[in-house]
Structure 1
Amino acid sequence: MKVLVIYADRFAYEPAIKNLDEVETIEKGAAHENCIVAFIQMEEDDEEKSIASREKKLVNHLKWTARKNDTQYIVLHSFAHLSESKASPGFTKAIFDAAEKRLQNAEYQTAQTPFGYFLDLDIKAPGHSLARIWASL
């Protein structure tokens, strides 16, 4: 799993192109403020491990980055451009849903960008040392 986390003063998106037929149609975008935006790519070898183990590792990393940036708001974004290896869409979505549930149980505010879409993005991110963190988990 590869994760690029960006702290954003503002993160907004609009659906541009649906690239998975099996996902619901989304026509409306959203905007979020004072949040961690996690660009996440699940890799093929992640599927050899349990969903619970991958989700726990992801959540621990996201909670750490949120604390470092003094926010309780985390946005999960599927971003299959951090590695050549890709997990299946079903496995990836299962990780996202499990991670979101665990974060909410820990009293974080969460959101997911539309899964299976290319999005037009608008990001306003400050330039300080922990505002951008990349990890291979």
Structure 2
Amino acid sequence: MKVLVMYVDEFSYTPAQKNLDSAEEITEGASFTDSVLAFIQIEKTDEDNDVKSREKKLVNHLKWTARKNNCTKIILHSFAHLSDSKASVEFTREVFDLAEKRLQNGGYTTAQTPFGYFLDLQLKASGHSLARIWATL
């Protein structure tokens, strides 16, 4: 799993193009402020592990990043451009959904960008230490 996390002052998206036939129809975008934005790619090798172990590893990293940025809002964004390896859609969705639920149970406000879409993105990211963190989990 590859993760690029940014603390963003502002982030918004608008659905641009559906790229997964099974994705639900989404036409509305959303905007967020003062959030941790996680670009996440679940890799094929992640499927060799239990889905819950992958979800727990992701959540621990996101909580650590949020604490370092004094933030309680986390946005999960599937970003299949951090590696050549891609897990199945089903496995990826399950990791995302379980991670979001665990984060919410931990008191975080969460959101997921629309899965299966290319999005028009706008973001304003702070330039301080730990505002951008890349990791292989």
How many residues are paired up? 137
**What CA distance in whole angstroms lies between the structure 1 residues aligned with 2:89 and 2:18?**
13
Structure 2 residue aligned with 1:114? 114
Query: What aligned pairs does 1:1-137 form with structure 2 within 5 A after superposition?
Result: 1-137=1-137
Q: Gapped runs of 5+ residues in structure 1?
A: none
**What CA distance in whole angstroms lies between the structure 2 residues aligned with 1:89 and 1:108?**
25
Detail structure 1 runs of 4+ shifted over 3 Å in the superposition.
none
Give RMSD over aligned pairs: 0.4
**What CA distance in whole angstroms lies between the structure 1 residues aligned with 2:136 and 2:65?**
14
**What CA distance in whole angstroms lies between the structure 2 residues aligned with 1:129 and 1:83?**
25
User: For 2:70, what is the secondary structure of its paired residue?
Assistant: coil
Q: Gapped runs of 5+ residues in structure 2?
A: none
Shift of 1:129: 1.6
Shift of 1:117: 0.4
User: For 1:129, what is the secondary structure of its paired residue?
Assistant: coil
User: For 2:130, what is the secondary structure of its paired residue?
Assistant: helix
Shift of 1:5: 0.1
Shift of 1:4: 0.1
